[in-house]
Amino acid sequence: MGWDGMFGGSMMLGGWLIWIFVCVALVLGIMALLEYLRGWRRISGAWLPFLDRRSGLKPKGRPAMDYVKLLYRPLAARAARHALVGRNRARQSPERGCFTRADVDGLLKTAWSDYAERVGGLPSEPTVGSRMNLRLACFTMCFFNALLGAGVERAYAIELVADAVWKVYRLWSTVALGLARLTPGKTTSLAFAVTKAGGRQARVSLSFPFNAPGYRIEPVPAESGTAFDVVRCPVADYFRRQGAIDLCSASWCNLDYPLAEMTGERLVRTKTLVRGDDRCDFRLR
């Protein structure tokens, strides 16, 4: 997949996008290292306060660095501009004009301000990846609320948010797939579901940021393809508490379908946690 297809820009932007690619890969690598060190700390009993959830991932007396905002603010801005600029402010009312870059920047400013007020109240999560995704879900909700506050009707706001989220998700998944190719003896589905052959039954696990125990899965025997059930998803829990099941389904859950196509697969799913089922059943063929 070319960089043109990634964000819909011209090849003149290739160098800037490659720079983003490298930065994302670097940050993901650092986060994965933090996960490894956190596990090592639990095993060895070593005291690493900067990795301890009770320390808030910050030294005493200093405000915590929001690595999610640091990494995703420029990505969210670019994705939102590409998803919204030039589209109608109201789907059925062209006389209201189209979103401008200034409109989108104003929405982002409102969303990040709302995020800053909400993020401190998010529940604790056991892994760096699940905490990151929970914060991204919070920002998704804030940007959605900013659109509603600007007078965008709900269904159209969900569509716009989903389009913006996909642009980020696709870039991130491309990075994950590239890193996965460096690991021999494993196959990858949905960019993050890793299957390793062993014994009679292949073992399926989810890689960062969907790794356990932040996310919990139950492998399912399958004659072909990849099958597993997700039985814990902090993002689904968050959106259910916010009363935004429709937003979660469209802007997070449904993106798994085009994501499956990136690895040449077809996803079949009949249940989702956010809809109130006891699991999300992933069947990839």
How sure is the predictor about 178, in pLDDT bands with cuts at 50, 70 and 90? confident
Please state whether the peptide bond connecting residue 74 to the residue before it is cis, i.e. omega within 30 degrees of 0.
no
pLDDT at position 219, please? 86
pLDDT at position 25, please? 54
Q: Is the pLDDT of residue 9 over 90?
A: no
Half-sphere exposure of 93 (CA within 13 A, CB side): 8
Nearest to 105, CA basis, from 78, 71, 86, 145: 78
Query: Residue 276 corresponds to which tokens in the numbers above?
Result: 């109130």
Q: Tokens 């491309």 sit at which residue?
A: 174
CB 148 within 8 A of CB 157: yes
Query: Residue 176 corresponds to which tokens in the numbers above?
Result: 């994950």
pLDDT at position 27, please? 58
